[in-house]
Chains A and B, each alone.
Chain A
Amino acid sequence: MNLDGIKEILDLVREHDLAEFELELDGLKIRVRKDSPVHFMPAPVPATPSPVMVAPTVAGPAGAVALAPEIAPLGDDEALELAVVKSPMVGTFYRAPEPGARPFVDVGTEVAKGQVLCIIEAMKLMNEIESEYDGEIVRVYVENGQPVQFGERLFAIKAR
């Protein structure tokens, strides 16, 4: 499976107006899904939802696909290796545990699965968002202290 193959799949999905498509081939699993309704928060949907998501299979509950990390639309060859961490809630994004402290991660930081990437505060609940991947942070999308919406991009990780 190469990039052209994936583009072909995306075209087929569009052409036939499929809501969801899944393919497993030689250990590579691809799931394409059109935007689904936001399940939980009665908050505004992010302003720029991707019409189609290509998600690497993630271990976890079957019901938790709404935020399956998408592939970042960056460079062509890199596209398959980047996972985008999205906000699972509406809240305030904090890159460090306290004002003035070093950020949990920065561009170039090697992260391990389970490592805390940031805190999102909602209703005074400090949600420590952990990495689902081993890899390197290649992009930080949000500034410290900014409000984030459900599904908004937070980080791109080049998974190892």
Chain B
Amino acid sequence: MTDVSAPLPDEFRQAVARHATELEGFARDVHYYEQAGSTNDLAAVLAGGGVPEGTVVLAAAQTAGRGRQRRQWHSPPGGGLYFSVVFRPRDAQVGDGDAGALLVAPQTSLLTLMAGEAVADGISRATGLEAALKWPNDLVVEAAAPACVSAWRKLGGILAEASVEGERVRHVIVGIGINVRPAAYPPEVRDRATSLESELGREVDAATVFAACLAALARGRSDLVEGRARLVLERWRRRAPSAVGRHVTWEGPDGPWHGVTRGVDDTGALLIEHEGRVVRVVAGDVLWT
């Protein structure tokens, strides 16, 4: 379980250089590991040490990759892209206390939606594959045949973790896992998982996907802090057909509730019509039925 750091491979260095004008300082510093426990953990340590926003931890493999509630995120070598990005309240690093509030809300509530949209956009720009989003930020490909075991196959996932003291957000680590090749996931989940190469039927340059995702994250970040959250939501909605008019089940206050999705509001909360009224859902598992 040792973290093995190494110089950033040339193809990643070149891909970042090609996107330099769009990166807005993101990926200026990429910490590369041939093997890491969890890129989110490494990025959190770096963030605690004061590294600037946009610092990235990239690993060729993770031994303890995780998703929500520490569910295992399979991260074998040669399978996927695993990287984490440090976000900070703007100006927090120069000691301007009030600026911290910029990221508290509504921007933080939209940060995870923004990240999902950005990764989908990066994948689209780098490969042409149009991934869909399932609220709030699962990257999925909708299965063509209705007879499939699952209507969606998961292409990637995002785990965002914030460090909060009082009402001040110190940093948010956005961890991203993208299945590049089928080797990224265990065979037993192949009905529910997919990869870039499986969908496209050809080889994919992971380094270009990486740089394009970071460029999209940098743009989304600017949109959120410069008052263009509306654009982030518009882009997100275009990629999330399942957020409108689909049947879902989720954990209500007294057991499972059923309803129909009615879009997301401006804070990113999922609206679900349940027994004639619309409920805002901000957390928990929502299952599309």
Contact = CB atoms under 8 A, between A and B. Distances in A.
A140 to B, nearest CB: 18
Interface stretch (A3-11, A12-20, A89-97, A103-111): A89-97
Interface size band for A = 35 or more
Interface of A is mostly: loop
B105 A132 contact: no
A60 B108 contact: no
A147 interface: yes
Contacts of A67: 166-167
Contact of A123 (B69, B104, B283): B283
Contacts of B267: 41-42
B172 interface: yes
B253 A147 contact: yes
Interface range for B: 35 or more
A28 interface: no
Interface stretch (B153-161, B204-212, B237-245): B153-161
Interface in A84-140: 88-92, 94, 97-99, 101, 114, 121-130, 132
Given A41-B105, A90-B282, A127-B169, 19 more contacts: A41-B267, A60-B97, A61-B168, A62-B97, A88-B167, A89-B105, A91-B282, A94-B69, A97-B69, A122-B283, A123-B110, A124-B68, A124-B283, A125-B109, A128-B161, A130-B163, A130-B164, A130-B165, A132-B166
8 contacts: A40-B106, A64-B166, A64-B167, A66-B167, A92-B283, A98-B69, A129-B164, A132-B165
